[in-house]
A and B are shown apart, each in its own frame.
Chain A
Amino acid sequence: GENVEQHPSTLSVQEGDSAVIKCTYSDSASNYFPWYKQELGKGPQLIIDIRSNVGEKKDQRIAVTLNKTAKHFSLHITETQPEDSAVYFCAAITGTYKYIFGTGTRLKVLA
């Protein structure tokens, strides 16, 4: 079946450094790739997304890249801040509303 692998499971960075989280998907028909940030005690929040006809998208300190040939996509956070500490989930969507989520990455930004 469809699968999304996410790495690393935990990531610690110093404040101001960059953080990169990578996901690999199995279904070549996947065409939409969102990223979610989940803070403790809250629901996942959509922070950025990319469609299969685009290779890169940036929103301030956050960027997402997509390599369709290799079937992987990555989240890049630059100039990390303590408030970036959270669990991040990637997802791949195949067809209509069929979301496959990654296993999550716990990011800790050390002040």
Chain B
Amino acid sequence: SAVISQKPSRDICQRGTSLTIQCQVDSQVTMMFWYRQQPGQSLTLIATANQGSEATYESGFVIDKFPISRPNLTFSTLTVSNMSPEDSSIYLCSACSTTNEKLFFGSGTQLSVL
């Protein structure tokens, strides 16, 4: 299984500011993804992080709001831009191994926007 380190684990931010979340995987992975989990809800895919190119966003999510980078196979960042209280959620980094489609998650970033 892949070990995924995500930081920060939590943050409290002011409205209008931006936060960048970092994700590091300990092994070679094929795919990296970013999910959002609103309080008491299921997991919603924000985007697929593509190595060396623009991320692929799901319906309802745009690059200007959630810019994503993936400069190499094992590292990715998600920025939550111009935050509002509605952005308060858990943000999860995930990755699939190179050998199968098993999906593993980081510990998440608990974001609160005041």
Contact = CB atoms under 8 A, between A and B. Distances in A.
Contacts of B33: 97
B31 to A, nearest CB: 5
A43 B105 contact: yes
Contact of B43 (A32, A42, A97, A101): A101
Given A46-B1, A104-B42, A93 B107 contact: no
Nearest to B43: A101
B57 interface: no
Contacts of B6: 43
B110 A41 contact: yes
Interface string A90-111: 0101001101011110000000
The A interface, classified by DSSP as helix, strand, loop or mixed, is: strand
Contact of B92 (A32, A43, A96): A43
B102 A46 contact: yes
A101 B44 CA distance: 8
Given A43-B92, A49-B102, A97-B96, A102 B108 contact: no
A96 B101 contact: yes
Interface residues of A, number: 20
Contact of A42 (B41, B42, B45, B107): B107
Given A89-B42, A102-B42, A103-B42, A44 B102 contact: no
Contact of A34 (B92, B103, B106, B108): B103
B103 A43 contact: no
Contacts of A34: 102-103
Interface in A7-60: 32, 34, 36, 41-46, 49
Interface of A: 32, 34, 36, 41-46, 49, 89, 91, 93, 96-97, 99, 101-104
